[in-house]
Amino acid sequence: MASPFAWLEPALNTLQRAHWSRQPTPSGAPAAMVSVGEPPRPLINFCSNDYLGLANHPKVKAAAIHAIEQWGTGATGSRLLSGHRPLHQQLERAIARWKGTEAALVFSSGTAANLGTIAALVDQRDLVLGDAYNHASLKKGARLSHATFYEYPHNNVAALAQLLETHRCHYRRCLILTDGVFSMEGDVAPLEEILAIAEAHRAMVLVDDAHGTGVLGINGAGTLAALGQSSPTVIQMGTLSKALGSLGGYIAGSQALITYLQHRASTWIYSTGLSPADTAAALAALEQLQTNPTLRQALEERIQQLEVGLQELGWPVLPRPFPTPIFCLPAPDPVMVLQWRQKLQEAGCWVAAVRPPTVPFSRLRITLRADHTPEHIEQLLAALAALLKRC
């Protein structure tokens, strides 16, 4: 009799033929220079989301080690049972102060924060509208919620307004989902316009600020802070796993929202609390962000340098209201983008090749770090110039 898993081999073959197959590459401790692959080779790291270099910062590491010594390695239970430590409350209060909200709640990942929050807020009686380029966890959350879900073209506020005009009146609640800084494009959502039409249509807005967190706005408080926007209709989601160098996700908003999530967000209720080390690392990283503005200044200088250099080379750069550390260089197809990545690697630069189905079109994704030197950026620009010449 055929194995019930006989479909796996043909499914994998299909992925292979579409040039969609992928595998993780081992790499060393996060830094501007990192050893990559087997055998390991030192490359300039244009691949990580550790924008400020906090994942390997001495004070952040010391805080995590101290927390393990004091509290052990695991939280040992869900927050509502045995898994709640004073550290969790300290971190949630620090996030709320930093974001300027009444309260905050930390989840074991950004993905868990999105899935749990969306499914807690809306169900089959409700409407969800999301940007077509949103992160996979927002899209998955919308589908798991059983709400009616429509996507609007990337950053197209007119299309969003049209969907609201047509559909809003048929549903009980409405939730609009958007990345703040788009994770694979590096551009920024028009939040001012989105918040205005959301208010006009009595819609909630969830801004996923995984990549604005720590990078944009005063003290790195995120995209809304950078735009000078605040609104009672907005739910701010972010991760502890990118610029904060730890692991976990958060939701910041009103006290009523946070209390509701503690009763209804299944990924929070039925999951073990964040580990003491991750919690303490995030707290220490938050402290660094607020007391050490030189990290963000250094990052901004490198972003500026790469933007100017790409313009000089004639690579088109997506327009964006502020500098973000994510650069998207579109490639003609998945085969070409893999060749580009290989050439850049030979030139000493580690860059991500991101392909469908993760994104709608293949591209190089370049991310910058505060600890890159001007010479690192020059080396990347020289390697990109050589690629252009070959094409």
Q: How many residues does the chain have?
A: 391
CB of 270 to ligand PLP, least distance (A): 17
CB of 18 to ligand PLP, least distance (A): 24
Residue with the CB atom nearest ligand PLP in the bound state: 110
Draw the binding track, 159-198, toward ligand PLP (x: CB under 6 A; -: no contact): --------------------x---x---------------
CB of 168 to ligand PLP, least distance (A): 25
Type of residue numbered 135: H
Which of 117, 241, 305, 367 is in the footprint of ligand PLP by CB under 6 A? 241
Which of 110, 186, 212, 253 is in the footprint of ligand PLP by CB under 6 A? 110
Q: In angstroms, rounded to a whole number, what is the distance separating the alpha carbons of residues 250 and 109?
A: 8
What angle, 0 to 180 degrees and rounded to 10, lies between the N-to-C axes of helices 294-313 and 374-390? 20
CB of 316 to ligand PLP, least distance (A): 23
Which of 57, 135, 302, 365 is in the footprint of ligand PLP by CB under 6 A? 135
363 with 352: CB under 8 angstroms? no
3-state secondary structure of 380: helix
**Complex with ligand PLP: residue 240 or 383, whichever CB lies closer:** 240
**Complex with ligand PLP: residue 45 or 367, whichever CB lies closer:** 367
Q: Is 348 exposed, middle or buried (0-12, 13-18, 19+ CB in 10 A)?
A: middle
Tokens for 329? 């260089």
The contacts of residue 361 (CB under 8 Å, 6+ apart) are 330, 331
**Complex with ligand PLP: residue 111 or 305, whichever CB lies closer:** 111
Q: In angstroms, rounded to a whole number, what is the distance separating the alpha carbons of residues 238 and 250?
A: 5
Which of 217, 249, 276, 325 is in the footprint of ligand PLP by CB under 6 A? 249
CB of 85 to ligand PLP, least distance (A): 20
Which of 45, 48, 111, 324 is in the footprint of ligand PLP by CB under 6 A? 111
**Complex with ligand PLP: residue 111 or 275, whichever CB lies closer:** 111
Does 271 help bind ligand PLP (rule: CB under 6 A)? Answer: no
CB of 352 to ligand PLP, least distance (A): 13
CB of 163 to ligand PLP, least distance (A): 21
CB of 104 to ligand PLP, least distance (A): 15
The contacts of residue 158 (CB under 8 Å, 6+ apart) are none
Q: In angstroms, rounded to a whole number, what is the distance separating the alpha carbons of residues 289 and 62?
A: 16
DSSP for residue 252: E
Label residues 42-65 b or e (16+ Cβ within 10 Å = b): ebbbbbbbbbbbbbebeebbebbe
Binding span for ligand PLP by CB under 6 A among 21-29, 108-116, 188-196, 364-372: 108-116
Does 117 help bind ligand PLP (rule: CB under 6 A)? Answer: no
Type of residue numbered 161: A
Q: In angstroms, rounded to a whole number, what is the distance separating the alpha carbons of residues 333 and 355?
A: 8
Does 109 help bind ligand PLP (rule: CB under 6 A)? Answer: yes
In terms of DSSP H, where are the helices of the chain?
8-17, 58-71, 86-99, 110-121, 136-144, 157-167, 191-200, 223-226, 255-264, 266-269, 276-291, 294-313, 334-346, 374-390
Which of 208, 271, 324, 362 is in the footprint of ligand PLP by CB under 6 A? 208
Which of 145, 213, 236, 239 is in the footprint of ligand PLP by CB under 6 A? 239
Draw the binding track, 136-155, toward ligand PLP (x: CB under 6 A; -: no contact): -x------------------
Binding span for ligand PLP by CB under 6 A among 106-114, 123-131, 164-172, 350-358: 106-114
Torsion over CA: 260, 266, 269, 275 (sign): negative
**Positions that interact with ligand PLP (CB under 6 A):** 109-111, 114, 135, 137, 179, 183, 208, 210-211, 239, 241, 249
